[in-house]
Amino acid sequence: MRIETVAGKTVLVTGAAMGLGKLFAERAVREGAAAVVLWDIDAAALRETAAELGDRVHQLVVDVSDRAAVAEAAAAVRAELGDIDILVNNAGIVRGNTYFWETENRADIDKTMAINALAPMYVTLEFLPAMVRGTGQARVLTIASSAGLVANPRMSVYAASKWAAIGWSDSVRIELEQAGHEHVKVTTVCPTYIDTGMFDGAKGFLFTPILRRDAVVDTAWKQMKAGAPLVVLPWTSRLNKALSGLLPIAIRDRFLDAVGVYHSMDEFTGRTR
């Protein structure tokens, strides 16, 4: 069930104008995808990325937090290119560095949940039925976060959105297996902080530096093609998750506080653009 290459396949990437999304799109083009569809809300950055990547790239300005916009854009893709073989749910936002009760803009809650948790569901629902009906190897890759595995102060809403994304994505994986659709694989990727600018100001913690974007994309891409169910980066994040399930809560909290997890967002600023 491994895909050796995406050559000849149609790939769609959300949040594709910069960061991880742009790197995923570059990887698809480099491997010879028949078409690579870029979705992003940033029209200017999207144009720049599309111009860099060449003729096989198709761009659409899409606000994935808007369910109607997602449906309209998906219909346009199907009309022009047909069904999608590889879907990369990459779009995401983060709002943080405050305790939850200090939240001033309640719209940030809605936006975070809409983009990080609901958008992958709505986008996937536009393309997954055709993947299921088809016979070729198909993939859904969802970029979640280690924040969805271990609680973390000053990012409670972000963590909630990623917990939701992980629960949904892995459940869909099991549903496909139960229904016998072995040609469609779902991979959920849970990295810690990455050097894309989204987490500017966040701090690495014990044995867990800020991850390099190229390394994350390389691992995620390889594991997606292999059909891996869950990818947690780095190893310390897997350890923290395991200990969180085994230790009493009070001891867990002392451990995660001591290694720096609970203070990693203290100086978060985020991307200025």
Residue 273 domain-assigned? no
**Model confidence pLDDT, tens digit, residues 68-122:** 999 999 999 999 999 999 999 999 999 867 899 999 999 999 999 999 999 999 9
- pTM of the predicted model as reported, rounded to 2 decimal places: 0.94
Q: At what angle do helices 235-246 and 249-259 cross, to 10 degrees?
A: 160
Residue 149 domain-assigned? yes
Residue 5 domain-assigned? no
Residue 125 domain-assigned? yes
User: What is the rounded distance in angstroms from the CA atom of residue 24 to the CA atom of residue 8?
Assistant: 16
Q: Which residues are catalytic?
A: 158
Residue 269 domain-assigned? no
More confident of the two residues 35 and 244: 35
Residue 177 domain-assigned? yes
User: What is the rounded distance in angstroms from the CA atom of residue 18 to the CA atom of residue 1?
Assistant: 30
Give me the CATH number covering residue 185: 3.40.50.720
Residues 6+ apart with CB under 8 A from 112: 93, 94, 95, 157, 158, 161
Q: Mean of the pLDDT values across residues 185-209? A: 89
Tokens of residue 146, six digits? 């280690």
Residue 272 domain-assigned? no
Domain count, the chain: 1
Domain encompassing residue 228: 10-263
CB-CB contact of 203 with 266 (8 Å) = yes
Strand 35-40 to 230-233 pairing: unpaired
